[in-house]
Structure 1
C-alpha cells in the first residue's frame, strides 16, 4: 500500500456548528536546496533537501469555516486585512489537490485571513509558511471530526497536505532541522512529507542566528514555480540532483561533528549552485540584484579579516540570509548594522529553531 493511502479521509462528516481556527507557521531556509520536480508528478522533489525553520519569520492564518447551504463553493481570502483575489487560483488548486484526502472540505465554505511578519513572494519562502499554516488549520478541522487522531499522524498529514500547495511548505510543519525527499542515508525520509532530522546534532547547530537582509521587498517577476518547471530541460539538472544528494551525506557528518567552517562552505556552495541553475535555465534569468552581490563580497571580506563564523545562503530571490552561531551574535550583528544596512530595504532578525 502506498504511504499516501494512509491519509485518505473518504467518509463524509458534518459539523453541527461553524468554527474558527488560527494557526502560525514559520518560513524556513533550506541548507540543501530543493530545486526541480519529478516530471508528470505533483510536487515530488528531484532531490532531498533540509532546512531550518525560522523562529520570528512566520505566517498567521485564521480559517473561518461554515457548512455550505448551496452547491457552489465559496472561498474568500484576506491578506493583511484586505481581500486578495490574486491568491485565489492557487488556493482553489490546493483544495482540489487535497480533496481526495480531506473529503469533508466539500461540506464547508471558507474565509481565509492571513498575514506575514515579512514581505510575501520576495524570496523568503512566504508560500512555505502560508500553505503550511493553512494545512495545520485544515488538520484542526479533521481533529474535531476524528477524536482519536494522534499527534504524529496529525503532523505527518499536515506536512503531506502542505506539500500540495508548496513543496517547501511540508518542511515548515516542524521546528528545527527538517528533511524532505527520500535519501538513502536518512531513515524515514520520503518524497510525500517531511520529517524532523533524525540524527545527532552538535550543540552549535541546535540554535543559530539568522539575519535576513531584504534587498528587494517586491514580489518576484518570475515565481519559484516557473523556475522549477525550467529545470526539466536544464542541461545541468541531472548533475545538480546528484550533487545535492552527495551534499546531504556531507552535511550529516558536519551536523554531527560541529564543523562550522565546513558547514558554511557547504551552504554557500548550495546557495550559489541554486542560482547557477536559475542562470542556466532556458529562458535564463537573474534573481540576484547588484546589492545582493555587494553583500556576498562584504561577508567574504569580513569573515577573512575577523575570523568570525558568518555565512550566507540564498533562496530563490535577491534577499540574503546570514547564519552564525549565537555565541558570536553580538559582534556579528553589530557589524551587519554598521556595514550592510545601506545595501538593503530592511533587516529581519530571527533564529534557526
Structure 2
C-alpha cells in the first residue's frame, strides 16, 4: 500500500478538558466527556514521499511552513519508531471545519492523521491504543477516535497508556447540536496559551479538578438513562465554570465576544418558552447548543432572528474515523 485516506469527525466536550499535568505526554489534569458531531470533519491522505527525503504537509491546499511540518513529523515519528519503517511521507489534509476557532479542528485533524498512520505504517493498534497516540498531537483528538459520547480518562501519574478514550454511548437517539458561528477566524489566544495562563494565575483553578470529577460522575448515568435535561444542565454549568476560571486569570482573559452572549440569552429564552436546550462553549467565541435533534430546526429558526442562516449548522452525532480510499 502506497497511500491511504481517512475521515475523522470533530467532537464537542460536554465535560471540559482544560489543563495538562504533563505537557510532553499531553496528560490532562482531569478526565473529560464529549459528543462527536457528523457535520465537521477532516480528511487526510497519507502517502510515501518519493519526491523528497523529508516530510511534506499540505493543509487546505497550502504548503505549510517548517514549524507546522516539524510538529506533524514528530507525531508521525511515533509510528515510524513503532513500525521500524523510517520513510518520509506526504500529508495532504483538508479541514471541513474552521481551524483554531474553538470548534475542535485539531481533534478531527490528528484523529484522521493517527488513523492514516496506523494504516500506512501497518501498526495495527486498536482504537483504545491509538487514542493514546492521537493524544500526543491534540488532547481532544483522543476523543475523536470514537463516535457518540466518549470519555477520555485522565489516567494515573505519568503512565501514558493509562490515559485513553472509550465510547460509552453511541448517541443513536434524539440528540444533536446547533452550532452558532460567532467568528470563524483563528482565535487570538490559543488553547495551549490559555490553559497555561489559567493554571498559573487563576485562583479558581484549584477547584477545577474537583468540580469536573463531580460533573463527570453525574452525567454518565444521565447519558445511560437518556435523561436529556440533566445532561444539558450539567454540560452548560460545566462550561460556565471553565470560563469563569479563565476570566479569573490575571490578567483576565476571555474567549467570548458580544454575540456569544446574545446566543446564550437566546438559549435561555427558548428554555423559558418550554424548549429544552443548553449551551456550551470551548476556547473560542462560537456557541454550541445541545438539543433534541427533532427540535433543532425549530431552535434554528429562533436563532435566525439574530444570525444569518449560513452561520447556523445543525449536526447529529458522528462516528469514529473511517477509511474512504
1:303-342 matches, cutoff 5 A:
303-305=271-273, 307-337=274-304, 339-342=305-308
User: What whole-Å deviation, never above 9, does each CA across 1:6-27 have from its counterpart, x for those lacking one?
Assistant: xxxxxxxxxxxx7111000000
Give the length in aligned residue pairs: 312
Residue from 249, 252, 257 that aligns with 1:281: 249
- 8 Å CA contact 2:174–2:294 kept in 1: the answer is no
Structure 1 gaps, min length 5: 1-17, 185-189
1:228 Cα shift? 2.1
Whole-angstrom distance in 2 between the partners of 1:20 and 1:40:
32
Q: Is the 8 A contact 2:11 2:104 kept in 1?
A: yes
Q: Which residue of 1 aligns with 2:238?
A: 270
Q: How does 1:1-353 map to 2 (within 5 A)?
A: 19-39=2-22, 42-66=25-49, 74-85=54-65, 87-96=68-77, 98=78, 102-105=82-85, 107-143=86-122, 149=124, 153-182=125-154, 191-197=162-168, 206-233=173-200, 234-305=202-273, 307-337=274-304, 339-342=305-308, 346-353=311-318
Question: Cα gap change, 1:77/1:311 in structure 2, threshold over 3 Å: closer, same or farther?
Answer: same
Q: Give 1:225 shift.
A: 1.2
For residues 284 and 263 of structure 2, the distance between their equivalents in structure 1, rounded to whole angstroms, comes to: 14
Q: SS at 1:206's partner residue?
A: coil
Asked whether the 8 Å contact 2:107–2:138 carries over to 1, the reply is yes
**1:227-249 Cα distance to aligned partner (Å, 9 max, x none):** 22224323222211100001011
Q: Secondary structure at the match of 1:38?
A: strand
- Please report how far the alpha carbon of residue 191 of structure 1 lies from its aligned counterpart in structure 2 after TM superposition: 4.6
Gap change, CA 1:276 and 1:89, over 3 Å in 2: farther
Aligned-residue CA RMSD (Å): 2.5
Q: Is the 8 A contact 1:51 1:178 kept in 2?
A: yes
Structure-2 change in CA distance of 1:93 and 1:235 (3 Å) = farther
TM superposition score normalised by structure 2: 0.87
- Give the Cα–Cα distance (whole angstroms) in 2 for the partners of residues 211 and 261 of structure 1: 16
Instruction: Mark the runs of 5 or more structure 2 residues left unpaired by the alignment.
Output: 319-325
CA offsets, 1:116-158, max 9 Å, x none? 1121111100111101100000000233xx6xx4xxx431232
After alignment, is 156-165 or 277-286 more displaced?
Answer: 277-286
Specify the SS of the correspondent of 2:252.
coil
CA separation of 1:226 and 1:266: change in aligned 2, threshold 3 A: same
Q: Distance in 2 between matches of 1:252 and 1:37?
A: 23
Is the contact made by 2:3 and 2:120 (CA closer than 8 Å) also made in structure 1? no
Flag the structure with more relative contact order, 1 or 2, with Cα contacts below 8 A and sequence separation at least 6.
2
